[in-house]
Amino acid sequence: MTKLRVVVLLAVVALLLVPAFAYAQTPPQPPCRFYGTVTEDGAAVPAGTIITATVAGDEYTAATPAEGYGSSSYAIKIEEPDGSNYEGATVSFEIGGSAAKETGTWTLGGNVNVNLSVGEATTP
């Protein structure tokens, strides 16, 4: 009977500890997603144009067109690295290496529309 008591005791301890370990893990934080149109001098940019988003010195890239959004569009997901806090930080963008006029603000779980542009729109 002593062996049975030890086995039962170990089983009870294991059942008590397993949930504690499961709850101790921090769940991943939802990213902030930015999307929109991209223009250069008022015209659509070519497919494959690289869009770079920078927040707190960290860079994230995407290429046009964003799948499902049509030509001259982008979509980029920005996830906080462990130990970072982007909440409320300004996100700057580049279109093919040129600074976009527009910026965005990172928000936890955000889905933010920012239409990007560089250059000047031409008038007919």
CA 44 to chain centre: 24
**Two tokens, residue 73:** 């569009």
Would you say residue 124 has pLDDT above 80? no
Q: Identify the pLDDT of residue 61.
A: 97
What's the whole-number mean pLDDT along residues 86-113? 97
Closest by CA to 122, choosing from 44, 36, 49, 35, is 44
pLDDT tier for residue 70 given thresholds of 50, 70 and 90: confident
pLDDT digit string (tens) for 73-83? 999 999 999 88
Element (H, E) at 62: strand 58-63
pTM of the predicted structure, to 2 decimals: 0.76
pLDDT tier for residue 12 given thresholds of 50, 70 and 90: low
